[in-house]
Amino acid sequence: MISPRYHREIPQRYRLEAGQCDGCQEIHFPPRVVCRKCGGEEFTTINLPSHGKVVTHTTCWIPPAEFDNQKPYVNAIVELDNGTRLTCMVCEAPPDEVEVGTKVEIVFRKLAEDPKWEVIKYGYKARVIP
């Protein structure tokens, strides 16, 4: 990922900032410029809750080059306590401990070092709550 895009996405990647539509209250993560539900263009920035559960998951054995040193790792769709869903890596647990319904907490972590652009990427991962 190129640096300008990474910089632009810091609010959502570091602080889980989402956009809530002023018209219909639909929550968009990542934030969008037009509401997918009502077409509204006015949004209020909100912070998403950090706790949720795994909706579905996979263990990745052949990842893109920048994630190669982390394999095998789990990718999951997580549903947060307010119903918002996001996709992220699951950290600090072996793959066989992640199941549908596993309770997780979204945490700030180093994601990867991009060998081409030399950008160290930070963002969110899901940590299994013991």
Partner 1 sequence: MHKHGTTYDMLCQVAVKNHQHGAKNPKAQFPMEITMDTVRNAVRVAEPLGLFDCSPVTDGAAAILLAPVEVAKALGKPMVTIKGSGHAVDSIALHDRPDPSRIPAVGMAARKAFEDAGVTVRDIDFCEVHDCFTIAELCCLEEIGFYEAGQAGAATMAGETALGGKIPVNTSGGLKSKGHPVGATGIGQLVEVYEQLAGRSGDRQVAGARLGLAQNMGGSGGSSVVHILEVK
User: Which residues face 105 on adjacent strands?
Assistant: 51, 127
Stretch that binds partner 1, among 1-9, 37-45, 74-82, 112-120 (CB under 8 A): 74-82
Q: Which of 59, 93, 114, 122 binds partner 1 (CB under 8 A)?
A: 59
Does 100 contact partner 1 by CB under 8 A?
Answer: yes
Q: Which of 4, 7, 33, 61 binds partner 1 (CB under 8 A)?
A: 61
- What's the number of CA atoms in the CB half-sphere (13 Å) around residue 89? 22
Does 60 contact partner 1 by CB under 8 A?
Answer: yes
Entry field: residues in the chain? 130
- What's the number of CA atoms in the CB half-sphere (13 Å) around residue 59? 10
Cα separation, 31 vs 46, whole angstroms: 10
Chain residues that interact with partner 1, rule: CB under 8 A: 36, 55-56, 58-62, 75, 77-78, 85-87, 95, 100
